Amino acid sequence: MRAPILFLSKEVYTRVFQKYGFHVEEEGYFSTDEETKPREFSYIIAKKTPISEETYSGFDTYY
C-alpha cells in the first residue's frame, strides 16, 4: 500500500505525525530531471513509534 501524497507545509505534517504517534525519520529534497520545467519537492518519511511498556503500565488485563 502506498502512502497518500499530500501537499501541506512541513510544520503541519510534523504536528499531525506527532499527534498520531509517528516520528519523523527522514526529511529531504529531490528535483525532477525535466529539461523544460525542473521542479523541486521536499519529502518526509515518518514511521509509527512503537508503544513502550510504560504506555501499558496503567492498564490491567483481565482474562
- Contact 18/44 with Cβ under 8 angstroms? no
Polymer length of the chain: 63
Please indicate, yes or no, whether the overall pTM of this predicted structure exceeds 0.75. Answer: no
pLDDT at position 6 is 58
**Assigned C-alpha cell, 47:** 514511521
Per-residue pLDDT of the chain (63 residues; tens, 9 = 90+): 565 555 667 777 777 777 887 777 777 777 777 777 777 777 777 777 665 555 444 444 444
* Nearest one of 55, 21, 27, 53 to 41, comparing CA atoms: 27
Task: Give the span between the Cα atoms of 11 and 13, in whole angstroms.
Answer: 5
